[in-house]
Structure 1
């Protein structure tokens, strides 16, 4: 793993071989929490992926928009291929927003993977809800939505409902339900004393996040098709 700046004062960890396909991995609602998804990034790199994991600040005045888009530019600089974007929680909403607004952002997204995606909230890139912005005329990247049945922060129904919206607009989507909660699906656990998520070395969390990495790698290799 190497750490760089993707913008002045903004850090990013890069895992894996630069020759491998690039995946951009966004953490969820927190300030500069790239470390929370470090174990997932490391596992994904073991599946022959180059994984770019930036800090971003969802509490900034722009809700993280400038951080998110700057990290996209950094990730794209290392590859000529379309990006796969993985987002956890609010990061999944941003990843979906990037794909929906791909033409606006001048980026090609080859796949979106959501982990416990909070699709019932507004996109931090635009401040708008995702569903009304979906159109069959857009570049329709495939979506794989992984969600834990034990998620008591973002209900599984959030991914199910968003999948219905995607399907209605003709976007390829697959929902995968896992025996996971909101934290361990990304390799993290909630610290109630600090009111934040942190990396977890718990054996059950390791088992869950290992399965998640395998599922993500499989999804990237075999994306869902339009119905």
Structure 2
């Protein structure tokens, strides 16, 4: 049975004045794992991630979804840093465990999250418990670090490894699933804990949404492929936040 979820909307998370929503599993008697979940390229689109954030919270984790602006002069790096600082400082008061914070993101946000996992020194030295990249591409610079995640992997040496979980739709026309396959192969080749879940959906469906052209926005979807894929993504977020270490194989 899914856990009831309490939603707190519009918390200010930093000097920029940006807002953040919190999805909390109700009735938890002790701190639970937390997921900081970054949206994609559209500016200030935290609402787009509401369906998958709620689904993950139903699985027993606190999910925090901030607005940020990739079109800012710094590419949004200050917003991303502020949101991470806020979560690390305040997650206990929101029912989360500060020792079990997962950094996750969708699309450009996925690149940003994995970028931090592979180059934590560019992000203040913070190493989250795990990183989850949802429908991301990892061969160009991440807005969080300014460096290229797959290149950072080559230069990571003996730094402690942050487990990386990847999810990608096999029918994604915006970011080809090969981008996640490439990174997964590279991670395994470097002995890093990593997994890849491939789901039969598109770029929006992987977060339980569909792109609506007249709104120029992803909105919640009840299509079977999106509901199933979004549930898989929520499962990955919850597994990453738990004690499970990702295995070397992909799941299709």
Q: Provide the TM-score with structure 2 as the length reference.
A: 0.83
1:225 deviates by 4.9
1:24 aligns to 2:24 (yes or no): no
1:180 deviates by 1.4
Matches within 5 A, 1:1-227: 1-3=7-9, 4-8=11-15, 9-17=17-25, 19-77=31-89, 78-79=91-92, 80-104=98-122, 105-134=124-153, 135-195=156-216, 197-204=217-224, 205-221=226-242, 222-225=244-247
**Distance (whole Å) between structure 1 residues aligned to residue 145 and residue 104 of structure 2:** 18
**Distance (whole Å) between structure 2 residues aligned to residue 182 and residue 23 of structure 1:** 21
Higher mean alpha-carbon deviation, 17-26 vs 46-55, is at 17-26
Deviations 1:115-169 (A, max 9, x none): 1112233211233211221213222111111111111110010001111222233
**Distance (whole Å) between structure 1 residues aligned to residue 168 and residue 230 of structure 2:** 12
1:88 deviates by 0.5
Give the count of matched residue pairs: 226
Gaps of 5+ in 1: none
**Distance (whole Å) between structure 2 residues aligned to residue 110 and residue 103 of structure 1:** 15
**Distance (whole Å) between structure 2 residues aligned to residue 168 and residue 31 of structure 1:** 35
Runs of at least 4 residues off by over 6 Å: none
Cα distance, 1:73–1:123 mapped onto 2, change above 3 Å: same
**Distance (whole Å) between structure 2 residues aligned to residue 226 and residue 194 of structure 1:** 40
